[in-house]
Every structure is written in C-alpha cells, then in structure tokens.
Structure 1
Amino acid sequence: MSKRRFGRVRKLPSGRYQARYPGPDGVDRPAPQTFATKKEAEIWLSKKETEIHEGDWINPDLGKVSFKEYGTAWVEERPGLRPKTVQLYEGLLRIHLIPTFGNRTIAEVKEPHVRKWRKTLLDNGVGPVTVAKAYRLLKAIFNTAVSDGLIKSNPCKIKGAGREDSPERPVLTVKQVFTLADSIEPRFRMLVLLATFASLRWGELAALQRRNIDLEAGTIRVVATTTELKDGSITLGPPKSDAGKRVVSIPAMLLPGLKAHMETYAERGDEGHVFVGPKGAKLRRANFTRVWAAALRKAGLSGIHFHDLRHTGNDLAARSGASLRDLMTRMGHSTTRAALIYQHTAMERDRAIADALGKLAEEAITKQDQEGSGT
C-alpha cells in the first residue's frame, strides 16, 4: 500500500478514522473531528493540503480565545466610539450575546448556533429592533475575527437579520403640533416647534447655544449634540456623522417666537444654552418626561414620542416637494435610506390625491353626460 505524501490516517479502536497533518508552524495537528471511513479522512487531508498550499490555512489554536474575552476586548479597542455607543454595545454583549456564546471559543461558534440564538431571542419576546442590533454587533465582532486570522469565515449569514424594521411612527397634523406646543410649559414651546419645523433631534436641541442661532438670517447651525448616559452624566460632542453638522433654515413665522424665547428663557452669553430647565439646569429626558406627559394629556394626544415631532417635520418637508438631496441635508443624514422613505411616502400620498381627483373628474363627467342625455 502506498504511503500518503501529506498527513496520515489511522483507525481508532471505535472503528472511526483519525486524520493528522503537519501544520505550516511545524506542529502535528489532528482533524477537529473523526471520520466514518478512511476515504472521508483522506479527502479531508487533501483539502487541508490545498488550504496550506494556497495560503488559506488558519491556525486552529488562534480561534480558541473565548467569545466573552474577544467580544469584550473588541468593544474596548474600537476607536472613536461615542459613549452612548459603548454603553449600547456593552449592554448587548452582557444581556444578549455572552449568556449564549460567552463560554464558547471564537472557532466553536457556527452558523447553526447563530440561527438558534436569534430564534430563541425572538421567541422569548425580545424586540426585533434589539435582536437586529445584537445580530449586527455579533457579525461585526466575527468580521474582525476573520480579519485577525482567527477563523476562516463569519458564522453570521442570516439574510436581513441585521435590518431594523421599526413600526411606523405616527405623523401629527400641523394643527396637532401647534396644539401640543400651546399645551406644554411656555419655556418648552419653541422646543416642540423647532423639533418639528427644523427637524432637530432632542440631543441637537439640548446642545443648542445662542451663538448657533442667527435670527437675522433665520438659520440654526447644528454643530453639537448631547448624550445622556445611564449613570446620569451628560456628554457634549459633535454629531455622529459629518452630515449631522449642518445649517437649517427656520420658517419665518417661528422667528418672533424664537426671539422672545431667547430673551425670556435662554441662558445669557454666546455659549448660553437656548433650552434649559426651570432652574437653569441642562435638559434631561428623565426630567422632561413629566412635562411631556402633561402636555400630551392637555392636548388630547396619546402614544406620541418626542422624536415623532422630527418624524412629522421630515414628512412635511417631503410633502412640500423637497428633493432627495434637500431632505438628506435638512435631516442631517449621510445616506439616502431615510430620505427615500419620506420621499416614497410623499409620492404615495401624491398618487392617492391624483387618484381621488381623477375619481371626482370621472363622476363629474358621468353626471354631465347623464344630464345631457336626459336620463
């Protein structure tokens, strides 16, 4: 019987076959599993030889680091992460990833494990948006493991699993927006109106300073945003993308009210914040929740989140005929995805209007024909 030129196969007492081969590092290594037949073991050795020859060999010892250790280090080593992003990643790791994968090595996690983990989360009532975020983080960690040469391929291969399909949020009417603005404490009236008609985020409004507002030009320069962490601290930093730094025009009808607000409620000095609490403290969501709930009750509204004001403003901008680029600039987005959603919605509404007009025209023509024929 001829001797194999690469590796060797031996029959075990169990009747199964074991394959061993010399790695490029000089270490004699066994296959990670045994085989039912000698032929299967030889085929595996041939594939491993080709792998080594083509430079695709991965040292299996490198993938023996635990997922908990590697994932935790992954978050710590990411450059430029915002504090809130670090907080999010640490929470996803602790609550949704480490309980399942923590004690496995990086190399041990396979596609079936990822599929089962995702299904279990969804079956246990974890929200689809949270599951999508956790999946994206898991995939990112394994992408780095591939780049580091720890594993050959990423086990996260579920199509669309990282996509967030958030439920459609309500869009307020212009009348509802002003009713809400008139129902909230006066110092927060312009907060409601600018969130809507300037499409500003909560963090952007909380970070707004006097020097960022040009009443003569009717513009707001967005250069910073606040982030509230779980420990109660507030950080001030730039928007998360360059597109977030922008100049937004304010509807002229809001300028007198904004001027009055700055004279009455804003902090003094160029660096004074435009929106502060009754005692001069920085805006905090936790403190604002009570004020917001009271305003909703007074306005006869329910189920409305503060972010729905920006959503409403974006919708109004799309319906005003704004182009895709106009929407992206005003919203502070660097990609077309969100803007396309609003533009598509506006087109659907425009089509509905056109269809309704067509129906009215058809009814009028039919009525005219009937009157003309005397029927």
Structure 2
Amino acid sequence: MAARRRFGSIRKRESGRYQVRYPGPDGRQRTATDTFARKSDADRYLSMVEAQMMRGEWIDPERARIRLGDYAERWIAQRPGLRPRTVGLYRWLLGKHIVPYLGGVELSRLDTPMIREWRATLLGNGVSETMAAKAYRLLRAVLMTAVNEDELLRKNPCRIPGADQEKPAERPVLTLAQVLKLADLMDERYRALVLVTTFACLRWGEVSALQRQDVDADAGVIRVRQTFTEVRGVGLALGPPKSRAGLRGVSVPAAILPTLRAHLAAFVEDKPDALVFTTPSGRPIWRGNLNKVIAWSAAVGKLGVPGLHFHDLRHTGNTIAARTGASTRDLMARMGHDSAQAAMIYQHATSQADRAIAQAVSDAVKSERKKANKPAAGASGKPKGKVRKRG
C-alpha cells in the first residue's frame, strides 16, 4: 500500500523493499531507478528530488537510461574536429577497454565505486597504467558531455584522483655529439631527416609531410602547414596540423643548412609540391616502414642507445632548445604546443626570438663539431709542448 505524502508516494513491495513514485514538472509520474531497503531512505530520496525540482536542478532519470556503449559511440561520431587517427584511437579504446565492462550499463546507474572497480579490473588484467589512463580520460570526457551539454547526469562519476595520469618511462635524450653521429650513421639520403627533425623540433607527421615549397634553405626557415596521419584501413591522410599552434614557421640552425641544401639538390624533385623526405622510389615514408626504409635500428645499435625511438629526436631537440635559456612562451611557439597560452603566442610572438633559439643551437652544433674534428694531442707523432734546445 502506498503511503501518502505531500510530494510523491512510497510503496512497500512484496520483496520488502520500498518503491518511490513522484510527478515530474510535466505532470507525468516517474518511478525511481532503484528501490530502498528502508522507508526512511525512500523518504529522504523524495525530499531530495523535490528540492532539486524547486532549484531547477532535477534531471529526468528516464532520459539517462541510454546505455553507455550507445551513448559513447554517438559521442565519438558527433564530436566536432576530431582527426581520423583520434577517432580510430577512441573507437579502439571504447571497444577494447570500456564497452566489455561498462557498455551495457545505463548512464543513470553509473557511479564512482563502479568506475573505480572498472579501473581496478583493467589494471588487474594486465592493462598498463598508461593505457588505463587513456581509457579513463575518454570515459570522463564522454560523461562530462552527458553532464554539461546533454544534462543527462547531475555529476560526473569519474572522480578518482590520479586515474587520468600516465606514467610513461623516461625517454632518452641524446647529446649533441650523439645526434651528429646518428646523422653520420644514416645513408646520405636520410642525414638531413635526422638533423631537421631534431633541431627544428618537428613531429613525425610534420617532417614526413614537408614539401619543397615549405623549405626556404636560404633564409633558414621551415613552414609547418600540414601533416601526415596514418589511418587504419584508409592509409596516409594529408591534412592540417591538429591544432592552431601547429601552424608555424621554424627557424633552422645555420649549422645544418648546408646538409639541408645538399639534400634538396640531390634527393628532391624541382617541384613546389615535391616531398622533401621520401623512399628511393619517391613515395612517402610511413611510420610503420621507417625502420626498414632508413635502417633505423641498425644505426641506433651502432650509436649505443638501445630503445631509441624516432620521436625521441623531437624530444631531444626540445630539450636542447630549452637549454638555450629561451622563455617558455618562445619554446611553446617553436614546438607547436597546443593550449590557450600557445594560441596567444602564435598570434603575437615575433620571429626574432625563434631565430635566437636557432642561432644558439647552431653555435652549440658548431662547437661540438670543432671538438669532434680537433686532433687528439700527440696524434701527429710530434712531441707535446715546446722542445728546448740543448746548449
């Protein structure tokens, strides 16, 4: 029998639990998603719902009965501005790490303990902290839209401190001498690739998409205006950088310009849209065939830095540039970092500061080359120091 109240009603079911019903703002009766073990709990729930309606904060639980898997798939499809590779990553994370565990759960039933258990299950099944953090960040973004834009939830249940943080292994940073040695270990066709990637702080997609028209080897400037993205099932997709900050001009250290000019003359067609770095047949270099094309592993083995990735060249270049004493703003503009701060830098930073970074790096490269080319003391067979004549 339902107990009469000023707002809503409470009915004890045959199971002994209490069921709650109440009228929504539109006059239609709603039934609470869960039942309650005690009548007092049901009464408090109704008081909370009534207060939410009075404050205009009530959310219809029937709207949140969509399953997480369906909502997340729709979220990915309707998200504006996602790059093809990002869409592929999101769908992979969704299908691999989210839907098998939470895909069938209605949004209204998600809570923080459930999210915490899901994350613990991922880690317990051998998923790395890095991958678990990526999946958690995706789930949090999806549910944030459910809260702020679609108003399906009152609060985001992804509230686990530190769950969004990755802990990747420390990546190696080469010395100047190692960068120059690595370039020398490469086939002549790919020496400039190593030097430009490192000292112009370029991403793989940026350097692989450079065209002749993007390189002014006389002024020493590279214009980053497009990037290659590898899309599963599609192939290489050429498009703009992933952010506004990625569109930039980068000053090239003068010390490596002779190598760049020689590369352009020997290996690049005399057409504006000719790719700067290609395979011997003139085709673009894929990330997947990078090792085979440029013999990366063999060169890294001779260098003596096991586990070095090609992306570590950009990391090295960023580190070397930071050591010049440049400001954070100038460094972010050079590296193409994406943030509100970087957008402001892109609009207002002058090329003078960027040239100063390039000049400082160039001086360091020249100094390193002088040290490498300086003959060791006594190498000529002549005695060291002055020889005194015996009288």
- For the aligned pair, the TM-score class normalised by the smaller chain equals 0.7 to 0.9
Higher helix share: 1
Q: Distance in 2 between matches of 1:17 and 1:334?
A: 52
Query: Post-superposition shift, 1:14?
Result: 3.7
1:152 is matched with 154
Alignment deviations for residues 344-373 of structure 1 (CA, whole Å, 9 cap, x no partner): xxxxxxxxxxxxxxxxxxxxxxxxxxxxxx
- Secondary structure of the residue aligned to 1:285 is coil
Q: Does residue 304 of structure 1 match 2:304?
A: no
Cα distance per residue 1:74-107 (max 9 Å; x no partner)? 1011111111111111111110111011111111
Residue 322 of structure 1 is matched in structure 2 by: 326
Tell me by how many angstroms 1:330 deviates.
1.2
Tell me which residue corresponds to 1:104: 105
Counterpart-to-counterpart distance in 1, 2:102 and 2:185: 50
Identity of matched residues, %: 51
Deviation of the 1:336 alpha carbon? 9.1
Task: Give the stretch that moved more between structures: 83-92 or 267-276.
Answer: 267-276
User: Following superposition of structure 1 onto structure 2, how do residues 247-286 of structure 1 map, counting pairs within 5 Å?
Assistant: 247-286=249-288
Q: Which residue number corresponds to residue 211 of structure 1? A: 213
Amino acid at match of 2:119: R
Which letter maps to 1:193?
Answer: L
Secondary structure, aligned partner of 1:236: strand
Aligned partner of 2:49 in structure 1 is 48
Q: Which residue of 2 aligns with 1:333?
A: 337
Q: Deviations over 1:135-159 (max 9, x none)?
A: 1110111111112122221111112
Q: Residues of 2 paired with 1:166 and 1:266: CA distance?
A: 37
Q: Does structure 2 conserve the Cα–Cα contact (< 8 Å) formed by 1:328 and 1:335?
A: no
TM-score by length of 2: 0.82
Describe how 1:64-75 pairs up with structure 2 within 5 A.
Answer: 64-75=65-76
Corresponding position of 2:247: 245
Shift of the 265–104 alpha-carbon distance from structure 1 to 2, 3 Å rule, reads same
Deviation at 1:121, TM superposition (A): 1.2
Q: Which runs of 5+ in 2 are unaligned?
A: 343-391
TM-score normalised by the chain length of structure 1: 0.85
- List gaps (5 residues or longer) in structure 1: 339-375
Q: Offset of 1:3 from its aligned partner?
A: 4.9
Judged with a 3 Å threshold, the aligned counterparts in structure 2 of structure 1 residues 182 and 336 are, in CA distance, closer, same or farther, namely farther
Q: Deviations over 1:266-292 (max 9, x none)?
A: 133011111010111111112212221
Q: Is the CA contact 2:4–2:10 (under 8 Å) kept in the aligned structure 1?
A: no
Please state how far the C-alpha of 1:228 moved relative to its aligned partner. Answer: 0.9
Q: Distance in 2 between matches of 1:28 and 1:73?
A: 29
Take 1:123 and 1:73, find their aligned partners in 2: how far apart are those partners? 29
Match of 1:313 in 2: 317
CA contact (8 A) 1:328 1:336 kept: no
Counterpart position of 2:379: none
Matches within 5 A, 1:72-111: 72-111=73-112
